[in-house]
């Protein structure tokens, strides 16, 4: 069901575009700023929405009120913006971790013995059974089935212990993970 507002604006969108812009721009910008926090970015989002509205004016068939339609467009643009920011922030954190790892590498690993000691210390922090299974798998090279038979446990239990061990080692070695992966191949 179309409202009177939709019929008036959609039927003559091109003729009334300036009025629509003036009527909605400030409200849409305030709405966007509530989520984006940056006035400049909120303004850019609303500008993008109006640019889209103008470019698609011939094709639009709005089935809801123009107000709901515009706010929905702004909401979706805000979601896209926040997702991109989240990905960029995660990338930035990952790059900082790698930079820190490379900087720490000189201090932490002056010899092969230092590297081996560092890995051994991390493995020794694992719970006893978990450490035993990890060593059998990754250092002794045994298959999960062999470990399960030797320890009289299920393969699923071996998998669970290995998953836990790898998770704990990733946390313990997180600052050095890139170089350890390259040098040892122990933690995957």
Q: How far apart are CA 48 and CA 154, in angstroms?
A: 57
Per-residue pLDDT tens for 96-138? 877 776 676 656 556 667 777 878 888 999 999 999 999 999 8
Two tokens at 22? 């003036």
Note the helical H segments in the chain.
4-11, 13-36, 39-55, 66-108, 112-124, 128-134, 144-151, 155-172, 177-183
What is the pLDDT at residue 178?
A: 61
Q: 39: Cβ–Cβ under 8 A, 6 or more apart, which residues?
A: 29, 33
pLDDT for residue 177: 62
Query: Residues of the chain whose pLDDT is less than 50?
Result: 1-10, 186-188
Calculate the average pLDDT of the chain: 81
CA–CA dist 161, 131 (Å, integer): 8
Whole-prediction pTM value? 0.47
- Domains of the chain listed by start with CATH number: 4-89 (1.10.1740.10), 109-183 (1.10.10.10)
Q: What is the C-alpha separation between 147 and 94, in angstroms, rounded? A: 35
């Amino acid at each position: 069901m179309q409202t009177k507002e939709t019929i008036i604006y959609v039927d003559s969108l091109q003729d009334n575009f300036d009025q629509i812009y003036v009527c909605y721009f400030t409200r849409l910008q305030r709405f966007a700023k509530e989520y984006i926090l940056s006035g400049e970015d909120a303004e850019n989002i609303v500008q993008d929405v109006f640019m889209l509205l103008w470019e698609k004016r011939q094709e639009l068939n709005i089935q809801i009120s123009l107000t709901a339609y515009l706010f929905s467009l702004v909401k979706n643009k805000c979601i896209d913006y926040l997702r991109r920011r989240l990905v960029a922030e995660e990338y930035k954190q990952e790059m900082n971790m790698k930079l820190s790892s490379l900087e720490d590498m000189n201090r932490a690993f002056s010899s092969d013995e230092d590297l081996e000691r560092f890995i051994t210390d991390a493995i020794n922090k694992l719970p006893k059974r978990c450490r035993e299974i990890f060593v059998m798998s990754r250092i002794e090279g045994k298959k999960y089935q062999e470990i399960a038979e030797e320890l009289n446990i299920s393969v699923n239990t071996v998998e669970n212990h290995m998953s836990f061990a790898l998770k704990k080692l990733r946390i313990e070695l997180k600052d050095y993970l890139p170089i350890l992966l390259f040098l040892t191949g122990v933690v995957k």
